[in-house]
Amino acid sequence: AQTVTQSQPEMSVQEAETVTLSCTYDTSESDYYLFWYKQPPSRQMILVIRQEAYKQQNATENRFSVNFQKAAKSFSLKISDSQLGDAAMYFCAYRSLPGGTSYGKLTFGQGTILTVHP
Amino acid sequence: ETGVTQSPTHLIKTRGQQVTLRCSSQSGHNTVSWYQQALGQGPQFIFQYYREEENGRGNFPPRFSGLQFPNYSSELNVNALELDDSALYLCASSPYLNTEAFFGQGTRLTVV
């Protein structure tokens, strides 16, 4: 079974600064997907960025980028030029490929609460 | 907005009762999955439906059951409610072979 660990329960950053959220995972599969989701107080889980494990290039989406280290099973999220609207709970998640041991199931970490100070 | 809608948004039930939560998936999505999120925790996978069949289940007892309809909307039913069932219930839809899951806004269930 896969596990996802977020070791930072809370992080804070000043507006316009950069912050990095950490995530490690454990799996015996060689190919899979990794995601970062954002959950603001409105509760809706919003996809921030995704990474396919077979791609060596780190994914980027505007101010959001990841540092994917497959051998170390590490998947951190970097938020540049932080904005007040980035404040939320952030979840790292793992999903098997079709045909994988548990395709369809998202396995989430415990989450990191991000506070952005003006 | 993801196009995934859940109803109701809030619900209060008494221990021992039964509850039905509903989810309308995003257009074109034939896969729906349900998650339970306790306060301050990450979501836990309950089960997934693909074309009206359950094709994956997490570590939840049989009193958690579901349905998916021909229009791919879905229901989550919980029988014999317990206090620990109090949580946010999230529905997510995706095209089967797609990678992303798109979530609804959730149903906050309180069992008293």
Residue B112 has pLDDT above 70, yes or no: yes
Chain B closest CA to A14's CA: distance in Å? 23
Residue A23 has pLDDT above 80, yes or no: yes
Q: Does B104 touch chain A (CB under 8 A)?
A: yes
Contact between residue A43 and residue B88 where contact means Cβ atoms under 8 Å apart: yes
pLDDT (0 to 100) of residue A101: 59
Q: State chain A's mean pLDDT as an integer.
A: 93
Chain A hits for B101, CB-CB cut-off 8 Å, are 47, 95, 106
pLDDT (0 to 100) of residue B28: 83
Residue A74 has pLDDT above 80, yes or no: yes
Chain A hits for B99, CB-CB cut-off 8 Å, are 33, 50, 52, 95
Q: Does B60 touch chain A (CB under 8 A)?
A: no
Mean pLDDT of A102-113: 87
pLDDT (0 to 100) of residue A116: 97
Closest C-alpha to A19, from A94, A118, A116: A116
Phi, psi of B15 (to 5 degrees): -50, 135
pLDDT (0 to 100) of residue A102: 61
Q: pLDDT of B9-36, one tens digit each?
A: 999 999 999 999 999 998 888 889 999 9
Pairing assessment for the beta strands B64-68 and B74-78 based on DSSP bridges:
antiparallel
Chain A residue closest in CA terms to B2: A46
pLDDT (0 to 100) of residue A100: 60
Q: Does B99 touch chain A (CB under 8 A)?
A: yes
Q: pLDDT of B31-71, one tens digit each?
A: 899 999 999 899 999 999 988 888 889 999 999 999 999 98
What is the spatial distance between Cα B28 and Cα B20, in angstroms, rounded to a whole number? 24
In order, the DSSP letters of A36-81 are EEEE-TT---EEEEEEETT--SPPEETTEEEEEETTTTEEEEEE-S
Residue B83 has pLDDT above 70, yes or no: yes
Q: Do A105 and B41 touch (CB under 8 A)?
A: no
Give the CA-trace dihedral at B96, B98, B101, B102, to 10 degrees. -100
- Higher pLDDT pick, A57 / B86: B86
- Higher pLDDT pick, A29 / A103: A29
Most B CBs within 10 Å: which of A106, A108, A112, as the mutation test of the B interface?
A106
Chain B closest CA to A105's CA: distance in Å? 6
Of the partner residues A37, A45, A105, the one whose CB lies closest to the CB of residue B56: A105
